[in-house]
Amino acid sequence: MKRIWNSIVKDLWIVILDVIAVNAAYLLALLIRFYVNFVFRPTVSYLLEDWIKIAPFYTVLCILIFALFRLYGGMWRYAGLNDMNRIIAASVVTAVVQVVGSLLFVRRMPITYYVIGAILQFFFIALIRFGYRFLLVEKKKIENMRKPGVSAMVIGAGEAARRVVKELENDSSFRPVCVLDSKGGTYGKMMDGIPVYGGIDRLENAINQYDIRKVFIADPLLQPEIKKEIEKICKDRNIELQDFGYSIYLSRNEDLEATREVVAKPAQKKVIPFSPPDISDSEIGEVVEALRSGWITTGPRTKLLERRLAAYIETGNVDVDTESDADRWKDRVVCLNSATAAEELNLRILGIHEGDEVIVPAYTYTATASAAIHCGATVKFVDIQKDGDKASHCPEMDYEALEAAITEKTKAIIAVDLGGVVADYDRIFEIAERKKSLFTPAESDGTLLGDLASRIQKGIGTVAILSDCAHALGASRVVARAGEGRLAAPEKRYCGKIAHFTSFSFHAVKNFTTAEGGASAWQLPAGVYENGVTDAEIYKYYQLLSLHGQNKDALAKSKVGAWEYDIIGPWYKCNMTDIMAAIGLRQLDRYPGLLDRRVAMIRKYDEVCDELGLEHLNHHVPGMDSSNHLYLVRIPGADTEKRNRVIEEMAKAGVSTNVHYKPLPMMTAYKALGWRIEDFPNTYDYYQNLFTLPLHTLLSDDDVETVCNALRTVVKAC
């Protein structure tokens, strides 16, 4: 909400400045034309009176025209050529309005007045937009000059070089002072406040002028002979050289992807992929360190990631010191090899088994339901609300249908935070409380796990609320109820601190990734702990369930004399490795910035969808902030045939899209279990005209503009 409010405030300031600009432009035009010898000529004072009459109406029309040409809500810190084109078009239209308005409602003004006014207005409006970017660049220049650290040069071009510059700016050890353009002889331009000195042929001149102490190569396609020459120069001058080229290539940056396509297939158009992982050099470096450490299975990095995730889920901050107070943060999150494993282990810790019923929305991915089926439970699907939640448009469960579906056999409800939008957990907890009389907790079956599950069910005292939070790490909602019961007052809670049990996904396509991977978290009422349960005991059983029932993991067994172990149960193998955790540790460092970038892109998508009359997810509504994972779009009145045609045409335009999701009752496996999509009309209606736009942090501003333009063209044509 804070980010949205800041954007609104910025737009209001721009509107105020525009009001001043359009009036100042034409008032100055009159003064320039008729102000002689420090006096405004009295013989033409009627022109000033005419300007005063028409100014309020012209001002309002200008603001409306500027809004029509999307001069508000833009990311003006990234203002570019497309934005300038819109400013020019808006200026031409408003100039016509000024001429026609004065002719119709006052009188014909001198031609010089119109010309001077239009030129001044264009200049002022452009200055307001591009001045913000200019100030940011100048600020970066000053900050860079004052920044301590080793003076560094970046050799590269485009987005690849820009990414390395940003990495260096975030690292206090280095001070980027210049860029050499590896693709040509560009000179005199700036890259995020850093001067582009010229081509690689100017390497030695740049080293002398800027007293370079370290050189970074940021071009994955730099020719070997050129690279050898750079290496020789750096070696002769005792300058440290680091080559980021290969790691950037692995990161699948979109500008680089286009370059590779041009090299391989000169005639092929650039394709914007749907959801590649955002892997920076910091993740790659941490993985290398993990490999060098000799500890690559579950070990110290996995344990550290668990503690840091626990702190993030509670505070929303990624810089919490979890080492000095490790006991506070341990035994609260378990990292596993997938969200599916996390969800299944949540159910097994809860004691879900054959004969139990688990309620799941019909609109979700298969893992939500299959985890319950793995446990032997019966899945009961419920329909979603008509057209989704009224505020967010997210396909949330129909809560009246949910309440009607609860029986004496119901042991769990799995809510889905689809696309990163947090479900209405207050409603779900209220429903569980109202249906409390139907709930009978399981008795212990005599096993250690069965005894733990029985104590947890008795402590909860109602149907358990589980969260399929695969999309929603970092999302939050203001709630009055959570896993521990009714709160003293409504408060903002991050996903993982709301439901009784939560599962997260760290798959390659998610906002936060460990390549594959997931995690479980829990938030339980006091009654559970009064039954003798501890977080350490819960954590222990997650470990047992994920490591063959072995009571010691590899880290514990590595201690002197601690080789011996026992097998408590014939269970599963779904632990996270330290290689995966290494990626996660560095992803978590970057995560707030990744979420902010997604917000900026969503604003652009919102603008074009609203312009075209398309329905879309609202990721930020009062009391709820999404993690901005998926951008779902619906075409009102369309059927599957038209939706599929739009997807095909978007692909032809070079934009990859997807559908999230085909409802489970339409899938072969679930049809075989007796489910029919006809029983879920709201679910099918939501699905049939839905598609998903690419939304990931490797999209450049130009990529976002390409997606928006393709959407305009395709939707209007179809």
- Which ranges in 359-447 belong to alpha helices (H)? 366-374, 399-405, 425-434
590 is a domain residue = yes
- Taking 90 as the threshold, does the pLDDT of residue 504 lie above it? yes
Q: Are 425 and 465 in contact (CB under 8 A)?
A: yes
Q: Convert the pLDDT of each residue in 625-634 to its tens digit.
A: 999 999 999 9
Is the same domain home to 624 and 541? no
- Taking 70 as the threshold, does the pLDDT of residue 399 lie above it? yes
Q: Stretch 245-265: mean pLDDT, rounded? A: 41
563 is a domain residue = yes
- Lowest-confidence pick of 141-150, 208-217, 254-263, 624-633: 254-263
Count Cβ atoms below 10 Å from residue 401 Cβ, excluding itself: 18
pLDDT (0 to 100) of residue 644: 94
Is the same domain home to 544 and 597? no
* CATH number of residue 438's parent domain: 3.40.640.10
pLDDT (0 to 100) of residue 270: 66
Of 558, 583, 608, the residue that ends a domain is: 583
Band of residue 253 on the pLDDT scale cut at 50, 70, 90: very low
Q: Stretch 530-543: mean pLDDT, rounded? A: 97
Q: Percent of the chain at pLDDT above 70?
A: 87
Q: Convert the pLDDT of each residue in 108-156 to its tens digit.
A: 888 887 888 889 888 888 887 777 666 655 555 555 555 567 888 998 8
Burial of 441-479, coded b for 16+ CB within 10 Å and e otherwise, reads bbeeeeeebebbbbbbbbbbbbbbbbbbbbbbbbbbbeb
What value, to the nearest 5°, has the Cα angle with vertex 510 and ends 506 and 511? Answer: 105
33 is a domain residue = yes
Is the same domain home to 247 and 307? no
Is the same domain home to 709 and 575? no
Q: Are 169 and 192 in contact (CB under 8 A)?
A: yes
Of 136, 170, 197, the residue that ends a domain is: 136
Q: How far apart are CA 476 and CA 393, in angstroms?
A: 17
Q: How many domains does the chain have?
A: 4
Is the same domain home to 543 and 594? no
Q: Convert the pLDDT of each residue in 157-198 to its tens digit.
A: 777 787 788 777 777 778 888 888 887 655 557 776 688 888
Q: How far apart are CA 456 and CA 532, in angstroms?
A: 9
pLDDT (0 to 100) of residue 171: 73
Is the same domain home to 311 and 425? yes
- State which residues form the domain around 681: 586-717
Is the same domain home to 399 and 337? yes
Is the same domain home to 522 and 596? no
Is the same domain home to 457 and 533? yes
pLDDT (0 to 100) of residue 255: 40
349 is a domain residue = yes
Is the same domain home to 651 and 591? yes
283 is a domain residue = no
Band of residue 265 on the pLDDT scale cut at 50, 70, 90: very low
Is the same domain home to 485 and 522? yes
499 is a domain residue = yes
Q: Convert the pLDDT of each residue in 67-89 to its tens digit.
A: 888 787 654 554 556 677 788 88
pLDDT (0 to 100) of residue 110: 81
45 is a domain residue = yes
Of 559, 583, 607, the residue that ends a domain is: 583
282 is a domain residue = no
Is the same domain home to 346 and 470? yes
- 327, two tokens: 């006991």
- Taking 80 as the threshold, does the pLDDT of residue 260 lie above it? no
- Lowest-confidence pick of 144-158, 182-196, 246-260, 375-389: 246-260
Q: Are strands 624-625 and 476-482 parallel, antiparallel or unpaired?
A: antiparallel
* CATH number of residue 225's parent domain: 3.40.50.720
